[in-house]
Chains A and B, each alone.
Chain A
Amino acid sequence: MKQFKDFELPPDLQPVMKKVRKLEYITIAYLISVTVLMYLVMGTSQAMKTAWLEDVLSMLPAISFLIASRIYDRPANATFPYGYHRVFSIAFLTGSVALFGMGLYLAVDSLINLIKMEHPTIGSTFIFGHQIWMGWIMIAALIYSGAPAVWLGYKKLPLAKKLHNKILYTDADTQKADYMTALAAIIGIVGIGFGLWWADALAALFISFSVMKDGYKNLRNAICDLMDRYPVDIEKEKPHPIVKHIEEMVNGWDWVIDSHAKFREEGQVFIGEVQIRPREQTDIIKNLVKGREEILAYHWKIHEVTLTVGTEWEG
């Protein structure tokens, strides 16, 4: 039996992966600096606490990606005959459960604060003899937590599309929208400054809903992947065109009457089968071997395919 391919990325995409890994290391280092800074200036603001927890959580996709990217291309073996591609799906599921759970917790926490009419108090500090309201320092920390994140998100997005990697895409897409969280928290802090106690809890509620929305979207995606849903385009979530193209390609072979292709996503690659109804009096074995090679060569994302011969099929 022929073994699964050991390395899933073609040579032209390997430098992209390298670049992405570097960007993810930068992301983690930057997020650590953000969370430390935000923790130091957090005070009693609910919006700050929520934004801080969101920043802590936003490290998860980057960490998951870095761990998974060390494992995913290990060669298949007797224990894991299909290789380690699904490590990305597991990492994606773990991250999304954490995100959704934390979003839910934050929403309830903010709602309780709103109902209890909790009035946040922010003190002041002295820098070189000048008194500065801590709210201004929090706003500066929030700007630091928002602006570079958006830049990193925009940097990672095209690379994620190239690699068709969901964790990376989610990470980039969430980071790109990070300024919304920072802006909401800033509005909350300014609200406190103007004596509007409810602005803080309301901003926190808005942020927690955005965390929850991201978590839910990712969770749905991760579960669908693990349930072997048909491969989808990471951006639009529409059926990936490769499957249709393969079916058309197979139907074009002169020894085939018609065919049906079924694929599933395993991490960033597709694995599946093509069921073929062949014409009579053809050299089936030779054609199947040749056909399989042709399909595997069609696109790097087609990592493994099984060709079966039959007269009827389901699915």
Chain B
Amino acid sequence: MQKFIIIFCVLFFWWGCDLPRDTKDTFEKAKKESLHVGVVVRTDSLSSISVFEKNLMDQFVAANNLKVSYNHSTETQLVKQLEKDKIDIIIGGFTEKTLWKDKAALTAPYDKEHVWLVKKGENRLVFEIEKFFYNQMQ
């Protein structure tokens, strides 16, 4: 019995090392195919944030050897696409209080305020983004 428990624990922690995983394997797929990113088109004072976050995204995909494709549209359109699994992430000046928090998962903020919206259930992707944000802040 003891041996069984020890083997189970070792296996569990061995498997546990690469947790969490994505529900739809988005992060791994982005290495071979593409990470589909929606960028909110803004004409107001927040337009510079969209540009800044797009640059940040370029750094994130470069750091993780991912391929990326951008799709520019309005918030509502992009959230609909996110829900339909057409895109993986939306960027463009969202804060933790965003109205879309029921429709998407939020990352931790990269500057104590702004977050990215990620397809729900993609825990590895969120994990890697948060690691990238943390390293950026250091």
Interface set of A (CB-CB < 8 Å, partner B): 44, 118-124, 126, 131, 133, 135-136, 190, 192-197
Contacts and interface: CB of A to CB of B under 8 A. Distances in A.
B23 A123 contact: no
Interface string B32-68: 0000000000000000000000000000000000000
B16 A121 contact: no
B134 A131 contact: yes
26 contacts: A44-B105, A119-B119, A120-B120, A121-B118, A121-B126, A122-B126, A123-B107, A123-B130, A124-B126, A124-B130, A124-B131, A126-B134, A131-B127, A131-B131, A133-B127, A135-B19, A135-B20, A193-B16, A193-B21, A194-B20, A194-B21, A195-B20, A195-B22, A195-B123, A197-B23, A197-B121
B119 to A, nearest CB: 8
A195 B23 CA distance: 4
Nearest to A131: B131
Interface string B92-122: 0000000000000111100000000011111
A190 B122 CA distance: 14
Contact of A124 (B22, B118, B122, B127): B127
B123 A121 contact: yes
Nearest to B25: A195
| Chain B interface extent, by class | 20 to 34
A133 B22 CA distance: 13
Ranked 9 nearest A-B pairs via Cβ: A119-B121, A121-B105, A193-B19, A195-B21, A119-B120, A193-B20, A195-B23, A197-B121, A197-B23
B32 to A, nearest CB: 17
Nearest to A118: B120
Nearest to A194: B21
A304 to B, nearest CB: 53
Contacts of A196: 23
Contacts of A195: 20-25, 121, 123-124
A35 to B, nearest CB: 24
A78 to B, nearest CB: 58
Contacts of A190: 19
A133 B121 CA distance: 14
Contacts of A192: 20, 121, 123
Given A119-B23, A193-B20, A195-B20, 6 more contacts: A121-B120, A122-B20, A123-B130, A124-B126, A195-B22, A195-B123
Contacts of A197: 23, 121
Contacts of B21: 193-195
A143 to B, nearest CB: 13
Chain A CB count within 10 A is highest, among B15, B23, B126, B130, for B23
